[in-house]
A and B are shown apart, each in its own frame.
Chain A
Amino acid sequence: MIEVKEIRKGFGDVEVLKGFSTTFQKGQTNLIIGQSGSGKTVFLKTMLGLHKPDSGQIIYDGTPYSNLDEEDQRDLREQIGMVFQGSALFDSMTVEENIAFPLKMFTKMKKSERIERANVVIDRVNLENANHKLPSEISGGMQKRVAIARAIVNNPKYLFCDEPNSGLDPNTATIIDNLIREITIEYDITTIINTHDMNSVMEIGDHIVYLQKGHLAWEGDKTQIFKTDNEDVTNFVYSSNLFKMVREAQLSKNSI
C-alpha cells in the first residue's frame, strides 16, 4: 500500500503537483489518468523519490519515504519495478542482459539461473526471438515489453508503469494490461499505472485517479467513471470517437 499525503512539487515557480492525497492499495491495479501535461509522470517520479517533493509525504506500507536514510531508500528501491515512458533500456546491453540486470545486481543467482528466470518473464510478455538483440535493433513496442519484463523479473513489491502500453497495437496492449493485472493479484503487489488509454481503464481500472492540471480532480473505479457527473472526467472519457458513438447509441436506446 502506498499513501500519498498532500503532495506538492514544482519546478522553479511552476507548481506541477498542487497538493493532493490518495491511497493506492495492493493487489489491485491503480490507474492514474489525465491529459498530456497534467503531471502524471511527475507524480510517479515523485512517489519513486526521483523528484524530491516540496512538501507532503509518500508512505510505503506505513514507512514515510522521507524518513528513510539513503541506505534504506536504496533497500526499498530494490523492491520497486518501474517501466519508464520511454522504456529507458540500457542500450549497451542485449535484451536478455537488460532483463537479467536486476537479478545480477541484487540476487546471488548464478548466470544460468538468471538467464532461466529472464526467459520466464520474456515468455510472459510475449517477446520472441529478441534475446540477443540490442534495444536499438527492436521496435518500440518490443522495447516496452522488455521494459516490463525488466521491471517484474525480480518480483517487486511495488510496480510503477508510465504508459506501459502506449505505442503497442490494441491486441498487445490488452495482453500487457492483463499481464500487469495478473502479476499484481498473483503476487499481491502495489501497482500504479499512468495511462491515457481508455481501453486500459475499462480493462483493469480497479482504482482510478484523475489528475487535472496538478489537482486530483476525481477518483473511483471503472464502473463509476462512466457514471460520474464530473464534467472534466466525462470529457476525458468520451474524447475518443468510439466511446462517443457508444455513448450516443446508449443514450438513444435509453430514450426510446
Chain B
Amino acid sequence: MTYLHSIGEYFIMIKDAFVKPTKGKVLRDLIFKEVDDLIIGSLGIVAFISFFVGGVVAIQTALNLNNPLLPKSLIGFAARQSVILEFAPTFISVIMAGKVGSFITSSIGTMRVTEQIDALEVMGINSINYLVFPKIVAMMIYPFVIGIAMFLGIIGAYTAAVYGGFAPSEAFLSGMQEDFKPFQVFYAFFKTYLFAFLLATIPAYHGYFMKGGALEVGKASTSSFVWTAVAIIIVNFIVTQLLLS
C-alpha cells in the first residue's frame, strides 16, 4: 500500500516537473549548474572505471581462452560486446546511482529539512520544476558520458590485451569489428536514456519527499541508491527482453 502510494507520488512529481515552469533565464542557469555538477563532475570517475574494467574484461577473456583453436580476435570481440552492451550502460549507471543519486538526494533533502523548499513554495515558485526539471534536462547529456565510457572501455581492453601480450593488435582490432550490429548500439543508448531519467528522478523523489532532519538525509540517500539501482536493473532486464530476444 505504501509502495503504491510512493509510486503514485513519484509519477505526480514527474508531471509537476514539467508544468508551470520557472522563468527561462533562471532555468537555463540552473541547467548549466546541474550539467556541471552531474555530468562534468562524473567524467573523471567514469573514465577511470571504464578504462580499467575494459582492461579486466580483456584479460579475463584471454585467460579463459585455453583452446588454441579459438582465434585471439575473440578477445576484441568479447571486449566490445560486453563493454557496449552492459559494462558501459548498466554497470556505470549503477555506480552513478551511488554518485549522482546520493548527491541529488542529499542536496534536495537538505533543502527540504532546512525549509528552503518551503521558502521556494511560499514565493509562488513551483519547487518541483525548479529543482527536478533542470536535473532531468542535464541528465539527457548522460548518454554522452556513457559514449565516453564505451570508448575508454574498449581502449582499456585494447591496452591490456595488446600490451599485456594476450593478443596481437591486428587480431584484437579485427575481432573488435567482427559481426558489428548497429542495432546493439541503439539498444545500448536507448536504455542509457531510460537510466538517465531514472538517475535524475528517483533520487530527486527521495530527497523531495523526505521527512525529518539531518540524520534522515543520510538514510534517504542510502535508500535512494538502493531503489535507483533496483530500478536500473529491472528496466535493463525488461528492455533487453523486448529489444534483443
Question: Which residues of A are in contact with B by a Cβ distance under 8 Å?
Answer: 45, 48, 50, 70-71, 73-78, 80, 82, 84-86, 88-91, 101-102, 104-106, 160
Contacts and interface: CB of A to CB of B under 8 A. Distances in A.
Q: How large is the interface on B (under 10, 10 to 19, 20 to 34, 35 or more residues)?
A: 10 to 19
A62 to B, nearest CB: 19
Contacts of B122: 48, 50, 77, 80, 82, 160
Interface in B111-134: 111, 114-116, 118-119, 121-126
Contacts of A89: 116
B23 interface: yes
A50 B121 CA distance: 8
B116 to A, nearest CB: 5
Given A104-B26, A105-B22, A90 B119 contact: yes
Nearest to A77: B124
B20 interface: yes
A50 B118 CA distance: 7
B118 A45 contact: yes
Given A71-B20, A74-B20, A105 B125 contact: yes
B115 A102 contact: no
Nearest to A74: B124
B124 A75 contact: yes
B123 A78 contact: yes
Most chain B beta-carbon neighbours within 10 Å: one of A85, A90, A105:
A105
Contacts of B124: 73-78, 80, 106
A85 B20 CA distance: 28
Interface of B: 20, 22-23, 26, 110-111, 114-116, 118-119, 121-126
Contact of A88 (B23, B116, B126): B116
Given A70-B20, A71-B20, A88-B115, 13 more contacts: A50-B122, A73-B124, A75-B124, A77-B123, A84-B115, A88-B114, A88-B118, A88-B119, A90-B111, A90-B116, A90-B119, A106-B124, A160-B122
11 contacts: A50-B121, A50-B122, A76-B124, A77-B121, A77-B123, A77-B124, A82-B122, A86-B114, A90-B119, A91-B114, A104-B26
Q: Which 7 A-B pairs have the closest CB atoms?
A: A77-B124, A74-B124, A88-B115, A88-B119, A78-B124, A82-B122, A84-B115
A84 B20 CA distance: 25
Contacts of A73: 124
B18 to A, nearest CB: 14
Contacts of A71: 20
B163 to A, nearest CB: 45
Contacts of B23: 104-105
B119 A84 contact: yes
Contacts of A86: 114-115
A85 B115 CA distance: 9
